[in-house]
Amino acid sequence: MYGKIIKVLLLFVLLTGQVLADEKTEKQIGQAIDQNMSWANALLERTVNINSGTMNFAGVKRVGDIFGAELKSTGFDTKWVDGSGFNRAGHLVASYGTQGPKILMIGHLDTVFAKGDDFQKLEPLAGNKVKGPGITDMKGGDVIILAAIRALKEAGVLDNVRIRIVMTGDEESSGTPLSLSKEAIIDAAKWADYALGFEDGDGNIKTAVIARRGSVGWTLEVKGRAAHSSQIFTSDVGYGAILEGARILNEFRDELSGMENLTFNPGRVLGGTRIEDDIAKNAGTTFGKNNVVAQTLKVTGGLRAQSPEQLADAKAKMQTIAADNLLHTNAILTFNEGHPPMAPTKANRQLLALYSTISEDLGYGPVAAVDPRRAGAADISFTAGYVKAAIDGLGLMGTGGHTTKETADMTTFDRNTKKAALLIYRLSQGTGFGD
């Protein structure tokens, strides 16, 4: 009898001691982040003040070198993946650890602001706000990655997890071919159990991203018979390229507009007797006359879907519509590679639930999923088909992304760093979801 009681008491002490040890460790992680915020702010300012527009290869590499040096000082093995094969600067890849769950942390080094833009420097504003090119998209997220890693190292728990960090140099404008451009992040995803993305999501600290719609481009090319317009609709001439293109686009609208979270958009149209298309500049010229049946039409657009299955269904419907041509017309519809969808899986929801619990434990309140219509394509989408679970939108929050008003809410800097660090720590303790 007494032996059983002693065993129960010992088990209670052991379990209670474990809980206290976990709470103590998490407190140490938070303290380490607080102590390193001056360093993090200085690193953020230093890198924001370096132009790293996608096509400024030297600037992208310079930012990568700075982050790489910080990771080396924390014990990571780093390498630079040269981007000459896909006409971009390249990617920073860093690895750490030999045991525990495998976690991929995703950032990017490039911004939308070219070397010649006026918007080049960080500027402090009132109300704990800071304006700067790429500060939220996504150098703030990159620094959160480094700050979380440093805190885990200083708390003595980084060795309980395997980390791979991929900071791409072409997220804002992907290099081609995608098979080379995205090779580093796909290889890392094949290795990883979990993928964590540090974009700023919809800029709201109360949300995170568990689903991103895929984004692919499409091109519709239509041919018809040129003839005097008085003969249009006849058995010899038919309907012409422009009317056939209009029919196809309208049937796309009828067929696709009812699919939940799916959108298609014809962004550019050239049509007439002849056209000249400057693909590199997204521009072109046309020649045609009111009394001549149009011989050619070209439409380029985009298609966004919330799952691979929905994307495949939409593509099939579009091809069927494009193939059912009006008299004496012919249409060819092609799709590019684009970004795959990141579907809202059960495991992604479980990962969000863990992240939300951490946020509540820290006193920040719950975190909900972003509406997929508010989450554009991002590099994490290339990992979704390989990892057990993925979540994005863990970075520095703010407003005005991709504009000269890009502004960070610095109250979210330490908060999201703590949430990310504790997410990694708790994953290192084992969760089992996503299997």
pLDDT attached to residue 372: 85
pLDDT at 312: 94
Domain boundary among 318, 335, 352: 335
Same domain? For 197 and 92 the reply is yes
Quick check: 111 and 52 in contact, CB under 8 A?
yes
Does any domain span residue 96?
yes
Secondary structure of residue 136 in the 3-state scheme: helix
Is residue 2 in a domain?
A: no
In this structure, are 79 and 184 located in the same domain? Answer: yes
309 and 248 within one domain: yes
Dump strand ranges (E) for 152-209. Answer: 162-168, 194-197, 207-208
Reduced to 3 states, what is the DSSP secondary structure of residue 275? strand
Could you list the beta-strand ranges (E) of 224-363. 263-272, 274-278, 283-287, 296-305, 330-335
Q: Are residues 288 and 402 in the same domain?
A: no
Q: Does residue 313 belong to any structural domain of this protein?
A: yes
Task: Tell me, yes or no, whether 267 and 292 share the same domain.
Answer: yes
* Domain C-terminal end among 335, 353, 373: 335
The reply to whether 78 and 124 lie within a common domain is yes
Residues 202 and 68 in one domain: yes
Domain count, the chain: 2
Q: Looking at the structure, do residues 83 and 140 belong to the same domain, yes or no? A: yes
- In a shared domain, residues 189 and 239: no
Residue 112 and residue 190 in one domain: yes
Q: Are residues 42 and 170 in the same domain?
A: yes
The domain of 46 spans: 9-212+340-428
pLDDT at position 430 is: 83
- Is 102 within a domain? yes
C-alpha 12: how far from its chain's center?
45
Q: Each residue's pLDDT tens digit in the chain (435 positions)?
A: 445 444 444 443 334 434 444 899 999 999 999 999 999 999 999 999 999 999 999 999 999 999 999 999 999 999 999 999 999 999 999 999 999 999 999 999 999 999 999 999 999 999 999 999 999 999 999 999 999 999 999 999 999 999 999 999 999 999 999 999 999 999 999 999 999 999 999 999 999 999 999 899 999 999 999 999 999 999 999 999 999 999 999 999 999 999 999 999 999 999 999 999 998 788 999 999 999 999 999 999 999 998 889 999 999 999 999 999 999 999 999 999 888 999 899 999 999 999 999 999 999 999 999 988 877 778 999 999 999 999 999 999 999 999 999 999 999 999 999 999 999 999 999 866 665
Strand order in the sheet with 407-409: 123-125, 129-131, 407-409, 398-399
pLDDT, position 153? 98
Assess if residue 97 is contained within a domain.
yes
Confidence at residue 1, expressed as pLDDT on a 0 to 100 scale: 47
Say if 284 falls within a structural domain: yes
pTM exceeds 0.85 for this model: yes
Nearest to 122 by CA among 190, 179, 43: 43
